């Protein structure tokens, strides 16, 4: 009985809003724009619809925040082949669940290749006594080289929650979503 009353009230509210000419952006359209912003590295636009506490966790030198502490050039290489496909959207008055498949460079493979190249380099007599700044520069150069050459991709399908608050869609930036866009594998045991 309570369920019927709840459904009836939801239907009445929906009809009332529809008759007043109320319209709102679909959750799918917002997710498409968000993924396009991620692909292009438009962090200002990303912040419009996403709580970025998990996504943007490390400051860079100019004070802007970027995922995992990568700089803009590194992020451009990480996201240059990011692809997505919206599989399904279930939307209601208060929220939505978007099932999305995200494909990106396999960063687990990138890290392995990075370590395979960087460690032998840094342990040579020639590079062992480099300053911290020089070691950072060497590390960055190796990372950029590995990112440019990476050809292995990882596809992840996940559910993304969205909430309609203050006449605006908010995308929940979960750790699972963060890992998917950053090309990290998501363990089923976590």
pLDDT, tens only, 53-111 = 555 554 444 444 455 567 778 888 888 889 999 999 999 988 999 999 999 999 889 99
Number of domains in the chain: 1
In a domain, 37, yes or no: yes
Percentage of residues in the chain having pLDDT higher than 70: 76
Of 59, 67, 91, nearest to 183 by C-alpha is 67
pTM for the model stands at: 0.73
In a domain, 7, yes or no: no
Q: What is the mean pLDDT of residues 173-188?
A: 77
Q: What is the mean pLDDT of the chain?
A: 81
In a domain, 147, yes or no: no
In a domain, 5, yes or no: no
| 42 burial level (CB within 10 Å; 0-12, 13-18, 19+) | middle
E-assigned strand segments in 52-177: 58-59, 65-66, 83-91, 95-105, 153-165, 168-171
Residue 80 pLDDT: 84
In a domain, 114, yes or no: no
Of 149, 142, 93, nearest to 122 by C-alpha is 142
d(CA 147, CA 140) in angstroms, rounded, equals 10
User: Residue 170 belongs to what domain range?
Assistant: 24-106+152-181
Q: Specify the range with the lowest mean pLDDT, choosing from 19-23, 91-95, 171-175.
A: 19-23
Placement of tokens 């200002």 in the chain: 44
In a domain, 52, yes or no: yes
pLDDT-derived band at 141, boundaries 50, 70, 90:
very high
In a domain, 56, yes or no: yes
Residue 68 pLDDT: 58
Task: Residue 176: give its domain's CATH number.
Answer: 3.10.450.50
CA 18 to chain centre: 33
d(CA 46, CA 43) in angstroms, rounded, equals 5
In a domain, 14, yes or no: no
177, pLDDT greater than 50? yes
Q: Which residue has the higher pLDDT, 61 or 142?
A: 142
């Amino acid at each position: 009985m309570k369920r019927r009353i709840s459904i009836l009230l939801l239907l009445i509210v929906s009809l009332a809003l529809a008759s007043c000419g109320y319209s709102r952006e679909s959750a799918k359209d917002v997710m498409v724009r968000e993924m396009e912003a991620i692909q292009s590295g438009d962090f200002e636009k990303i912040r419009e619809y996403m709580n970025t506490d998990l996504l943007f966790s490390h400051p860079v030198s100019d004070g802007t925040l970027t995922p995992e502490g990568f700089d803009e050039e590194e992020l451009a290489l990480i996201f240059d082949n990011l692809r997505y496909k919206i599989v399904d959207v279930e939307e209601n008055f208060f929220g939505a669940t978007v099932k999305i498949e995200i494909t990106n460079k396999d960063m687990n493979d990138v890290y392995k290749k990075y370590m395979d190249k960087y460690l032998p380099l840094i342990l040579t007599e020639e590079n062992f006594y480099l300053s911290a700044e020089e070691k950072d520069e060497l590390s960055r150069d190796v990372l950029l080289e590995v990112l440019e050459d990476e050809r292995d991709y990882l596809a992840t399908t996940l559910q993304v929650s969205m909430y309609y608050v203050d006449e605006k869609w908010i995308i929940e930036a979960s750790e699972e979503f963060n890992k998917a866009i950053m090309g990290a594998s998501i363990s089923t045991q976590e």
